[in-house]
Every structure is written in C-alpha cells, then in structure tokens.
Structure 1
C-alpha cells in the first residue's frame, strides 16, 4: 500500500515509519517539523515528507494514497490545559478535516491514533471499548470528538479505525521526556532519584512505541471488515501498573537509584486499568513484546549511550518548554504555526 503517516517526525512516527516501510509498504510522511530537531543520538532517516501544517493539508496532497495513519497532534496534557483552543483547532478540527479530505481523495483506510485516556477516572475495573468515555483533559476530549465525527464518515469506500493507545513508553530517536516511564528513567539517570510528584497510586496502562507501531501495521494489513469503523485498545493487561510500581521498576533497573514519592500533587484523577482482549481476538497474530522492565532497561541504555543531559531532557525533549523556546526564537507563532513556511 501507499501509506501517508502524519506526524512522522514525532516520537511515535519516527519509530513507526521504518516498521511500516520494512513490511513492504510505500511510506510517505506529513509533518510541520515542530519536533524534527528533538533527536537523541544519530539523526534518523525519515520517509519522504511533506512539510505541511496539518491545518493546511489539501485534497490533492492526499490523492494516490491507499491509507492514512494519523498520528499528528499536540499530545501533551499541560499544553492542552495552557492552550485548549489550539488543541481543539489542531487535534479535533484539523483531524476531522483531514479525514474528510482523505475520503474525498479516495483514500480507503484511515487509522486514527486515539488514546486510553478517553476513559478518564475509571477506578479499579478493567475498562473495555464499550465503557462510558470520561475524558478529563482538553487532549482527551479532542480524541473523543474526533472518534465520533470520523466514525460518521465511514462507508463502503472509507474505512476508519480508532486505535486507543495506552500511555506510550520506550526509546525513540525523537525522544519525549514528558511521559511517565521515559520521565522516571531520565530522573533516575540524571539525578540518581526516581522522583514521583503524585502520591503514586494512579493506575496507568502502558505500551511500548514499537508495540504501537506493530498494532497499526496489523490493522493496516487486516481485512477491512475486521477493523471497519471499530475502536481498539492497544496494549496489554500485564502493563496496567501504578505509578509507584513503575518507580520501583525504574529504581531496580538504574544502578543506585532511589525512589522519592513526594505526593505534592496529590492523587491524579486520571486513573484507569484497561482490557485489551478485543484487539487480541480481532488480530490473533499481534503480539505485545515489551513490558515495563524491558522498556526501562532500553531507555537506561539509550540515555547513557547517547549522553543525555539534564538541560536537553528538561527543554528539548519536553513538549511545552520546547514549543515555548520555538516561539521565543520567532520560529513559530502563537498558534503553533511555523513562520517562514515549511518546517519549524
């Protein structure tokens, strides 16, 4: 298939593009370049990429593709809280517009990167795709809205699938430090302390970036009737863990690291455990290969081998400070558009 991956120069896209390419697909990217420079280690080799803001995509740019994998988003809860209107504009409005244009262009498959955070505060019970959605942040709200609006576009010629990813972790050449496992390993490596600012009790479903990529590939290659207009949780029950449990794993992996749970932010209301049986039944050959310990070990090696610094971890690899630095440098405007055209 000829496949367009939006956000291919992001944390997940940089991992996913080579996996889909290696499976024999003709992969192209579309990315405004906001995070193209957020590289730890050798510069990754990107697929041919259209340097276009998601809000400016045209139908002509989508013609000839068999599938769109839509990853691009402002994917950070603090950023969403700071600028909910921009999150709505990019994550909701531009995503639905992309789907409509893709349908108009004759694209038959549309794979949307949603999130398990649509479940919000779900308590101790394992939530399935049939659970009542309870998004607690502008980011999660935008995902619910896109699922609803894009599902309404489905017909025999346009087949969307909604992949509700658990919280991602794992090394990517374009690193993110503001997701829980990646952050706690970085804290341990750079300070010797696994610092938890909540009380450690919230549950988090986790999934490695490579496992997300393989799930998208499996859906892409599945018979259309198996995945048509369906939502799938992406992850494994084994990786439903509390933040305190993650901290203990990290401390065990990083030599001499200790755990400090301050509780200064109290209990995080975003606490939920997720059931992943639907995707296993639909795609029985799909495996989840990474658990939290193996991912923490990978991150530890990657951080040490790449010479991660505290400044880069806090600035270049954390979404909100990085975007603020681009604004201060006059490289993007106040609604996150690159200035001067093309990539930031």
Structure 2
C-alpha cells in the first residue's frame, strides 16, 4: 500500500506539529503531494529562521476541517489528522466544543474519508488516554485505559470509532504520542519541557506546581513528524486498525527529575518544589517497546538533551529578535480566549467573518 500513497491531506497543518511534519515529508519524500488545511487560530510566526525553515505544502487552504464533505476528500490517498482542541486546559475550558471537534466532527470527517476511498487515516492520539496509572509500573497497548480529562476522553472515543470504521481498504493508525516537546516554527510554551526550558532561560528558576512525582513520557516534535510520515507512507500492517504507543522508553521521566535535568543542562538554574503541592491527576509511565521494535533504525529518535539544546537555541534567537512574545502569548488557551473575547470566534469556534 505504501507505494500507492501519493496525495496526502494534513489537517491542522499550521499548528505546532504540522509545519514540522511538512518539513520532514518535503525533505525525505519529495514526490508526495501535500495539501494542508488549518483554521488559522495559531498562525506560523517565524519560519524564516534558517535552522527551522519550514517548507510549505503544495496546496494550502485556510478552512475548518468540519466544513469538508466527502466530495472534498475524493482525491486523497491518505489523511493525517492533527486538527483538534489540543490540550487539557483548552479541553476543560471548552468542553462542549472539544467534544464536537475532537469526537463528533472527527467521526464525520473519518466517515467521509472512508466513503471517498481514502486508503489510510493516521490519527494523532495521546498517551493521556491511560489517565492516572495506579498499581502498574508501565502501561502498554494491552493495558486498561482510564482517561481523566475531556481531551483524553475524546481521544479514546475517537480511537474506538476509527476501530469500528476501519477495513482492509480503510486502514486506521492511531499513534498514542508521548507528551510533545521541542522546536517548531509555531512554538508552544504550554507543554511541560518547553515551559521548563523557557523558565530556566528567562527566569533562572523552574517552579513545579505539582508534587513533582507524576510520570511523563516525552517525544520531540521531529520524532512525531517522522512517526506520522512512517505511519502514512512506510508502515504496512495486516490488520485494519492499530493503536500504538509512540515514543521511546528512555524518555519516561518524573516531573521533578525532568526539571532537574533541564536545570543541570542550563547550569545555575534553581528548581523550586514543594512536596505539599497537590498531586497531578495525570501520571503515566509508558512502554514503547512495540513502536521501537517496528521502526528499528527507520526513525532516529532525539535524546532529551538534544531537544533541550535545540529549544534553548531557538528561544534565545527569538528573544533576541523580539519575536518570542510573552509566556502567555505562547499558550494555546490564552490565544483561543483572546480570539473568543474579541468576537472573532463564535461559541462553536467558527470564525464569525466566515459565517
């Protein structure tokens, strides 16, 4: 099937992961034709920086994937579905919209894709589906799932819908990603490692708001891009559906240890931890053995140290150029709230100007 994939549609193409994915495909698979779509909530801001220079898709449309019909999808061999309300804070602040976009409308979108004879549907899922892990050292694909947030619940339910929709001619791959981190031309700071690096660089300290004990697996944006491309273009499997933990075993860290690693690498940074803080409800140490065995040497995974180093260089350059903005401005919930308060978006998060 891999050789049959020529035209790909990427939703959320101008978000945090989308530009990195497009850059990867254009560098490694130049014969693939890419159409990118995005609502434009969070627009690319510094693609001109040389080491992060991003390729553009062959065709780009600024539109909401919720508006696409079966007829709009007829020419695509594969879809990589990134578009979503993309973290827990947004999910809790916009519960009804999150359930609509991440689940109801995504199911409709996948149904349209199947009816349009799309061959592969690759979904960016999350290890957050495992929720609060108790009584298990690690969780694998065979472990029970217990999502504790609206965001995570929509991931679980959409996975279930894709499993039902999948057939040998409509293969569905759900990549349960570790917590994202690392460089992008559309940088986010509402992610634990990115937050820690930013705080270390510009405040000289890292404040841990939980008791520091929760486990988090991490994955670099560049590894996410490689995994998504691998799933769409190189991965052949015998079953119509697969959900796969996506990351690397050595990148499971407790929050307090992660903060200390960043502080040590950047030298002279203080870590502030009060163990009396409330524990985080989300804690999961994840087994990525199946993914690591499948990709073997196909995906050279980045180390945490490399991610911290790359993030450091990017943030320093952006700060010097006056383009980093404030910490709040790089948080997705802040931006979404501002668009809503300004009247640019309606209650369903459609652009008022497009209605």
Establish whether TM, by shorter chain, passes 0.5. yes
Query: Does the 8 Å contact 2:81/2:121 carry over to 1?
Result: yes
Quick one: which of 12, 15, 27 aligns to 1:10? 15
Give the equivalent residue in structure 2 for 1:105: 116
- Structure 1 CA distance, aligned partners of 2:218 and 2:173? 20
Aligned residues, how many? Answer: 342
- Structure 2 CA distance, aligned partners of 1:40 and 1:177? 17
Give the equivalent residue in structure 2 for 1:327: 340
CA drift at 1:45: 4.5
* Counterpart check, 1:281 vs 2:293: yes
Query: Does the 8 Å contact 2:20/2:54 carry over to 1?
Result: no
- Structure 1 CA distance, aligned partners of 2:276 and 2:15? 31
Quick one: which of 28, 34, 37 aligns to 1:30? 37
- Structure 1 CA distance, aligned partners of 2:292 and 2:305? 22
Quick one: which of 79, 83, 87 aligns to 1:76? 87
- TM-align CA RMSD: 2.0
- Structure 2 CA distance, aligned partners of 1:62 and 1:90? 18
- Structure 2 CA distance, aligned partners of 1:303 and 1:311? 7
SS in 2 for 1:214: helix
Quick one: which of 210, 213, 218 aligns to 2:225? 213
CA drift at 1:220: 1.6
Give the equivalent residue in structure 2 for 1:46: 56
SS in 2 for 1:304: helix
CA drift at 1:288: 4.5
- Structure 2 CA distance, aligned partners of 1:17 and 1:40? 12
Give the equivalent residue in structure 2 for 1:307: 319
- Structure 1 CA distance, aligned partners of 2:303 and 2:154? 28
Quick one: which of 53, 68, 73 aligns to 1:57? 68
- Gap change, CA 1:306 and 1:286, over 3 Å in 2: same
SS in 1 for 2:17: helix
User: What are the ranges of 5 or more consecutive residues in structure 2 without an aligned counterpart?
Assistant: 1-5
TM-score (norm. length: structure 2)? 0.91
Quick one: which of 294, 309, 315 aligns to 2:306? 294
User: What are the ranges of 5 or more consecutive residues in structure 1 without an aligned counterpart?
Assistant: none
TM-score (norm. length: structure 1)? 0.94
Give the equivalent residue in structure 1 for 2:137: 125
Structure 1 residues 229-277: Cα deviation after superposition (integer angstroms, max 9, x where no partner): 1111110010000111111111122243211124575111211111111
Query: Does the 8 Å contact 2:181/2:191 carry over to 1?
Result: yes
- Gap change, CA 1:184 and 1:227, over 3 Å in 2: farther
- Gap change, CA 1:44 and 1:338, over 3 Å in 2: farther
